[in-house]
C-alpha cells in the first residue's frame, strides 16, 4: 500500500519577533535566542501526528497540517464470464446450476466423446469444468462406460440412439444427451454379419431370436427372412409375399407382361430373362415399357420373340 503525505507549515509571528529582538542584544544573546527558536520549532514539529484510514484523511498540530491519501485497496475486476473481487476477505459463491456437454455431441458406435461442463454460480458467473471435476453417474445403454476424466465410450447399437449422461458437481446435478450413430447396419448381437439389417430383425423378432435367422421362414411361405427383408415384406404375416405373374398381351403375340407386387420406391427392380433353364445365364431385359399402379408394377417385354422365355425380378435394396 502506498501512502502519500503532503505537509505544509510556517513559523508563527511570535517566533519572528523574538528573532529580531535577540539580534540587537549582542552575539551571545543572539545565539541563545536562536537556540530557543530552533528548540521551539523542533518541538512544534514533534507534535505533528498523522493517521491513515481506509480512504485517507487530514491531521494537524499547532500551525502544521497533514493531508494523507491512500490508493485503492478494493474493487471488482472482470474478464469474460469470470469475476474477481479484489480486497474482499473471501469470495463465497454457491453453485446453482450445472450444464453438461460432450465433444462431439454425435459419435459413432464404439467411439468416444469427451464430457465436460459449466457451473453457474448464484451471482450469475460461470465456471468452466473439466471432465474430471464432475462426478459421473453409472451410464446406461447405449453408453458402455464413462471414465473418471469424463470420457464416454459408446456401445454397439442397432439404430441411432440417444444416450443420457448425468453428473454432479458440489451436490448440484446436471444432465444432457449425446447421439450414438448406427454406422454398421449389421453388427448387433447374434444378428451380426448375417446379411439382414439388425433393426429389421429386432423390429419383427426382438432381441436374440433364432427365428430372425436369414434362412428361417416362420410363416411357411417358401420365402425366407433374407428374401423378405430385401423385398420389403413382413416375415410374421403369412399373407405378406412377393408375387410375379407373366401374362400375354392381347393382339401382341411377341409381347409379354410381367406384373409384380409389392413395389417400393427405395428398392431397385431389374427384370431378367433367359431362354433355357438348363444352360446360359440370366440377362437384363432391355426392350420394355414400365407402368406403376400403387404398389404394383407392370413391365412389358416388347421383344418376346423366342420360342420360350423365362423371367425373374432381381431386387436390390441398398
The series of mean pLDDT values per 10 residues for the chain, 318 residues long, is: 42 42 46 49 47 59 66 59 58 88 96 97 94 96 96 97 96 96 97 97 97 98 98 97 97 96 97 94 95 97 94 95
Domains in the chain: boundaries: 3-70, 98-181, 189-231, 243-316
Q: How far apart are CA 291 and CA 303, in angstroms?
A: 17
Q: In CATH terms, are 98-181 and 243-316 the same topology? A: yes
Helix (H) or strand (E) holding 10: none
Grid coordinates standing for 158?
442397432
For residue 34, how far is the Cα from the chain centroid? 87
Domain 243-316: give its CATH code: 2.60.40
Determine the pLDDT at residue 76.
61
Sheet of strand 268-274, all strands in order from the earlier edge strand to the far edge: 283-284, 268-274, 310-316
For helices 27-46 and 13-23, the axis angle rounded to 10 degrees is: 160
Q: How far apart are CA 286 and CA 59, in angstroms?
A: 112
Q: How far apart are CA 245 and CA 251, in angstroms?
A: 19
Domain 98-181: give its CATH code: 2.60.40.3440
Q: What is the pTM of this model?
A: 0.67
Amino acid at each position: 500500500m502506498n501512502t502519500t503525505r503532503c505537509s505544509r507549515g510556517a513559523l508563527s509571528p511570535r517566533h519572528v519577533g523574538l528573532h529580531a529582538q535577540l539580534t540587537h542584544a549582542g552575539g551571545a544573546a543572539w545565539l541563545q535566542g536562536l537556540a530557543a527558536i530552533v528548540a521551539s520549532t523542533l518541538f512544534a514539529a514533534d507534535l505533528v501526528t498523522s493517521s491513515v484510514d481506509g480512504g485517507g484523511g487530514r491531521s494537524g498540530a499547532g500551525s502544521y497540517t497533514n493531508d494523507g491519501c491512500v490508493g485503492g485497496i478494493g474493487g471488482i475486476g472482470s474478464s469474460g464470464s469470470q469475476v474477481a473481487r479484489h480486497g474482499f476477505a473471501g469470495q463465497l459463491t454457491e453453485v446453482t446450476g450445472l450444464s453438461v456437454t460432450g465433444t462431439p455431441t454425435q459419435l459413432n458406435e464404439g467411439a468416444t466423446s469427451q464430457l465436460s461442463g459449466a457451473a453457474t454460480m448464484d451471482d450469475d458467473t460461470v465456471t468452466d469444468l473439466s471432465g474430471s471435476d464432475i462426478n459421473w453417474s453409472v451410464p446406461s445403454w447405449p453408453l458402455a462406460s464413462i471414465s473418471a476424466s469424463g470420457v464416454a465410450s459408446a456401445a454397439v447399437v442397432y439404430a441411432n440412439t440417444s444416450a443420457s449422461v448425468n453428473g454432479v458437481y458440489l451436490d448440484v446435478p446436471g444432465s444432457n444427451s449425446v447421439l450414438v450413430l448406427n454406422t454398421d447396419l449389421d453388427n448387433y448381437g447374434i444378428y451380426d454379419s448375417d446379411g439382414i439389417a439388425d433393426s429389421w430383425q429386432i423390429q419383427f423378432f426382438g432381441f436374440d431370436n433364432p427365428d430372425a435367422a436369414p434362412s428361417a421362414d416362420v410363416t411357411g411361405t417358401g420365402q425366407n427372412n433374407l428374401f423378405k427383408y430385401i423385398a420389403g415384406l413382413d416375415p410374421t404375416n403369412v399373407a405378406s409375399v412377393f408375387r410375379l405373374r407373366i401374362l400375354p398381351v392381347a393382339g401382341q403375340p411377341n409381347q409379354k407382361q410381367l406384373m409384380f407386387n409389392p413395389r417400393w420406391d427405395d428398392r431397385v427392380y431389374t427384370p431378367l430373362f433367359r431362354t433355357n433353364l438348363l444352360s446360359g445365364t440370366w440377362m437384363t431385359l432391355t426392350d420394355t415399357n414400365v407402368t406403376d399402379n400403387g404398389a404394383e408394377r407392370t413391365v412389358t417385354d416388347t421383344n418376346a420373340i423366342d420360342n420360350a422365355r423365362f423371367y425373374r425380378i432381381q431386387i436390390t435394396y441398398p
